[in-house]
Amino acid sequence: MRAAHKYLLLYILTTSCVVVNTFDPVTTTVVVGFGATLGRTIWNYLHESCEPRWIAFNATGLEADLNRKLFGQHIASRIILKAVNGFMSNENPKKPLVLSLHGWTGTGKNFVSQLIAENIYREGMDSSFVHVFTSELHFPHSSQIETYKIQLQQWIKGNVTNCARSMFIFDEMDKMHPGLIDSIKPYLDYYDKLDGVSYRKAIFIFLSNAGGESIIQTALDFWTSGRIREEIELRDLETVLSLSVFNNKKSGLWHTSLIDKNLVDFFVPFLPLEYRHVIQCVLSEMEARRIPPDKNVADQVARDLIYFPKSERIFAVKGCKTIESKLDYYT
Ligand SMILES: *[C@@H]1O[C@H](CO)[C@@H](O)[C@H](O)[C@H]1NC(C)=O
Ligand SMILES: *[C@@H]1O[C@H](CO)[C@@H](O)[C@H](O)[C@H]1NC(C)=O
């Protein structure tokens, strides 16, 4: 709930208490009763619940956000829009939506998850129906894996029971214990119900660096042969992505088991970002902060980043990740 709303609610409740004190007992009861009903109505109105008032997909909003705020990701942007549109407009999906986002640091995987959340939940990432899990934060000790498994299953079950339209984001999937992934597999599958709970309206998003290097290689090959980046198509990446994901011992484990059963609906590759995309990120961040967009500042910020490969300096090592903090320093 937004702070302003909290104060409003507090104000109304306090005022009704003051009013109540000046009446006789009978009137007091009536007024208190009325106050309680009013209070509850206001509470329901202001407090997030699993209802269309709070959860409603805005397809136009998602498309606009992807076009205006996400840079250099023509493939990811297209897949995300199609996947989320299709899923959200289906009244009766056969399984939950499972997206696996791949790519190097700072290319926009977290950001895209945020855009999806913002266009489904009025409270966006602050929604009580959006859950983010990070290996290091939530499941740090591999010795406690059995406890984590049970806990995670309970969390997913509990939250989906509360609200079918729940969203679960698993950050740094590469670092997740494979056993943990196994424990959530049933929820991603084509079951009508598990223990009386249907998971079909939930959304699962996995974020990882797996395959990031082969995506970079493909982008680099295009650049070297003088082809336009926007000509890279999903099929150019699909093979390298699945090869590197399957063959990578470290990240392969969880992927293999998810791919084998076709539990992942969409693999979404994120390309490494070039100088011009960094410029766009900086200008966009300025706009968000309501600072007049300044091309010179943007140039300065972008110039001071590190690029690779060393000789050609094409892609930003950290993408747009550090822009926010850098901007404080330059403005
Ligand atoms: C959906 O998003 C568009 C573009 O951001 C916005 O103008 C519109 O008000 C939104 N619609 C709803 C119902 O929130
Ligand atoms: C929902 O998930 C959160 C973790 O994001 C957990 O703390 C909470 O207990 C879960 N709720 C239920 C009802 O299981």
Best residue for ligand 2 mutational test, from 159, 163, 205 (most atoms within 8 Å of Cβ):
159
Partner residues linked to 168 by β-bridges: 131, 204
- 139, burial (CB in 10 Å: exposed 0-12, middle 13-18, buried 19+): buried
Partner residues linked to 208 by β-bridges: 102
Q: Are 224 and 194 in contact (CB under 8 A)?
A: no
Q: Cα(220)–Cα(214) distance, rounded to whole angstroms?
A: 10
13/103 same-domain check: no
Answer yes or no: is pLDDT of 101 > 90.
yes
92/116 same-domain check: yes
Q: Cα(245)–Cα(239) distance, rounded to whole angstroms?
A: 10
Residue nearest to atom 13 of ligand 2 (CA): 158
What number is the average pLDDT over the span 102-111?
94
Q: Which amino acid is at 95?
A: K
Task: Please provide the DSSP assignment of 119-141 as one string.
Answer: TTBTTGGG-TTEEEEEHHHHS--
More confident residue, 324 or 69: 69
Partner residues linked to 268 by β-bridges: 101
For residue 281 the two structure tokens come to: 């990120």
- Quick check: CB of 137 below 6 Å from ligand 2? no
Q: Is residue 54 part of a domain?
A: no
pLDDT at 177: 85
Residues 112-123 have pLDDT tens digits of 999 999 999 999
Residues 243-258 have pLDDT tens digits of 666 665 555 555 666 7
- Quick check: CB of 64 below 6 Å from ligand 1? yes
- In the chain, how many domains are there? 3
Q: In this predicted structure, which of 169-173, 182-186, 190-194, 254-258 has the lowest mean pLDDT?
A: 254-258
How big is the chain, counted in residues? Answer: 331
Q: Cα(294)–Cα(283) distance, rounded to whole angstroms?
A: 7
Answer yes or no: is pLDDT of 3 > 70.
no
pLDDT at 40: 76
What number is the average pLDDT over the span 289-299?
93
Locate the ligand 2 atom nearest the alpha carbon of residue 157 and give its number.
14
pLDDT at 1: 47
Q: Is residue 51 part of a domain?
A: no
Q: Are 96 and 186 in contact (CB under 8 A)?
A: no
Q: Is residue 293 part of a domain?
A: yes
Residue nearest to atom 6 of ligand 2 (CA): 155
Q: Tell me which ligand sits closest to the C-alpha of residue 158.
A: 2
Q: How far are the Cα atoms of 44, 94, 158, 273 from residue 122, in angstroms, in the given order? A: 14, 25, 21, 30
Residue found under tokens 């969390």: 155
Q: Are 307 and 314 in contact (CB under 8 A)?
A: yes
Report yes or no on whether pTM surpasses 0.85: yes
DSSP class of 191: -
195/218 same-domain check: yes
Q: Cα(86)–Cα(82) distance, rounded to whole angstroms?
A: 6
Q: Which of 221, 246, 270 is the last residue of a domain?
A: 270
**Coil, strand or helix: which one is 91?**
coil
Q: Is residue 53 part of a domain?
A: no
Q: Which domain holds residue 299?
A: 275-330
CA of 274 from ligand 1 middle (Å) equals 30
Q: Are 142 and 187 in contact (CB under 8 A)?
A: no
104/200 same-domain check: yes
Answer yes or no: is pLDDT of 322 > 50.
yes
221/113 same-domain check: yes
| Other beta carbons less than 10 A from residue 45's beta carbon | 11
pLDDT band at 225 (very low <50, low <70, confident <90, very high): very high
